[in-house]
Amino acid sequence: MFTGLYLHIPFCLTKCPYCSFYSLPYRKEYLSDFITNLKSEIELQKNIIPKDQSFDTVFIGGGTPTSINKGLLEIIELLCQNFNIIKDAEFTVEANPGTVDNDFLKSLKMSGVNRISIGIQALCDKDLKILGRIHDKNQALNAIKSADLAGFENISIDLIFGYPGHTINNWISAIDEILKMPLKHLSAYEYTIEDETLFQKKISAKELMLPDEDTIISLTDILEEKTEINGFRQYEISSFAKQGFDCKHNINYWDNGNYLGLGPSAVSYFRPLRQKNISDIEKYFEEIEKGRLPVDFTEKLDNEAGFRESVVMALRKKNALVFKRFIEEFGINPIIYYKNIFEKLKKEDFIEFNEKQILLTSKGWRLSNYVLSQLV
Ligand code: SF4
């Protein structure tokens, strides 16, 4: 099993109205304090994690890691100096098209980053404005071209669908155009209303309207059909990859593997302990300056809770969930534990199962949120 390293860079140039990730507007004066405190957090963590702990994947997300420009290179060096990152580790940085150019992408590549995940979200200028993005369609496409020119073989993009005002025609042209680009991976997230966001308020006030259910089904069908025709395999609810380019860092999450999280709001998980850092940069600084880990809460998952969580996470992946792994890891057989729920879900045509494994049907896959909610 892998161990992942995640770093949350909590800065963005502006706040997108649909987003609930912890981030604040980037101000240059925050950067040196952030790096100083991150160094201290790393020192504190190094006293806790085993001396021989190695990391198989690194993921720098946020926020917008590329908003801090050269500061990001300094941080990457810091991670490489302080952690035992295996040779050929998957090393991802999230990038916003409005914050990268050729030279910066080349510097990222030179620093050891080998996977770039570009937040495109949409490919229609009108929609990008609705989504509050800082970039337009041309910048989005140019960012992909620049990443390719910089030598990134493993380029991923993020898209959103089903947001207010999204139409089938827009989606068709976006997918057709994006799939002509040199991509190896694509994540497409159905828009969901997040608490305390501007979109949530506007949708509640009926100032923004979401597409209806039939439109969402069509958007999903278009995504699945066109990605498949273009050689992408859907390997998780929202993830599509060319052969050999599944995201290892995310697979580790779905396998309920261990990971260390650094930075405000980052989560760490070393079974059975889960810890979340404080989602407030000032308090994060304060705790670290007092020589304490900036932890908001810690929870210890008992065997049963760990089992249930692992089942739900594993079912996000497209392949069948094999019971043997759970019997070996937790001493619990899913077919016995979930007997009544499995039978009900089977009757409703959401799943198929035998004594060895369970698989979501195409109906179950489409309504996976409902299926997973039954198993939590
Ligand atoms: S750039 Fe990304 S992290 Fe920042 S506000 Fe927008 S969606 Fe959220």
Inter-residue contact 371 to 350 (CB < 8 Å):
yes
Ligand 1: residue whose CA is nearest its atom 8:
19
Is 80 exceeded by the pLDDT of residue 348? yes
Q: Which atom of ligand 1 approaches the CA of 119 most closely?
A: 2
Q: What is the pLDDT of residue 75?
A: 97
Strand 24-25 relative to strand 54-62, pairing:
unpaired
Q: Is the CB of 189 under 6 A from ligand 1?
A: no
Question: Whose CA is closest to 256, among 235, 271, 234?
Answer: 271
Inter-residue contact 253 to 94 (CB < 8 Å):
no
Q: What is the pLDDT of residue 369?
A: 87
Measured CA to CA in angstroms, residue 292 lies from 9, 34, 51, 126, 263 at distances of 20, 15, 20, 46, 13
Which of left, alpha, beta for 5 (phi over 0: left; psi -120 to 50: alpha)?
beta
Q: How far apart are CA 118 and CA 175, in angstroms?
A: 15
- List the domain boundaries for the chain: 3-253, 320-375
In the chain, what percentage of residues exceed pLDDT 90?
A: 94
pTM of structure? 0.95
Q: Which atom of ligand 1 approaches the CA of 121 most closely?
A: 7
What does residue 42 show for φ and ψ, rounded to 5 degrees?
Answer: -60, -45
CATH no. of 3-253? 3.20.20.70
Q: Is the CB of 67 under 6 A from ligand 1?
A: no
Q: Is the CB of 156 under 6 A from ligand 1?
A: no
Span 40-46, average pLDDT:
96
Q: Which atom of ligand 1 approaches the CA of 134 most closely?
A: 1
Query: What confidence tens digit (pLDDT) does each residue in 74-83 have?
Result: 999 999 999 9
Percent helix, strand and coil across the chain, each to the nearest 5? 45, 25, 30
Q: Which atom of ligand 1 approaches the CA of 63 most closely?
A: 3
For residue 14, the number of C-alpha atoms closer than 13 Å in the C-beta half-sphere is 11
Query: What confidence tens digit (pLDDT) does each residue in 140-154 have?
Result: 999 999 999 999 999
Question: Whose CA is closest to 67, among 130, 2, 14?
Answer: 14
Helices (H), the chain: 28-46, 70-82, 102-110, 125-130, 137-149, 168-178, 198-204, 213-229, 248-254, 281-289, 303-314, 323-330, 334-337, 339-347, 362-366, 368-375
Q: Is the CB of 98 under 6 A from ligand 1?
A: no
Ligand 1: residue whose CA is nearest its atom 3:
63
Pocket test for ligand 1, best of 15, 26, 134, 160 (most atoms within 8 A of CB): 15
What does residue 80 show for φ and ψ, rounded to 5 degrees?
Answer: -65, -35
Inter-residue contact 61 to 9 (CB < 8 Å):
yes
Q: What is the pLDDT of residue 239?
A: 97
Q: What is the pLDDT of residue 218?
A: 95
Is 80 exceeded by the pLDDT of residue 1? no
Pull the structure tokens for residue 246: 């599944």
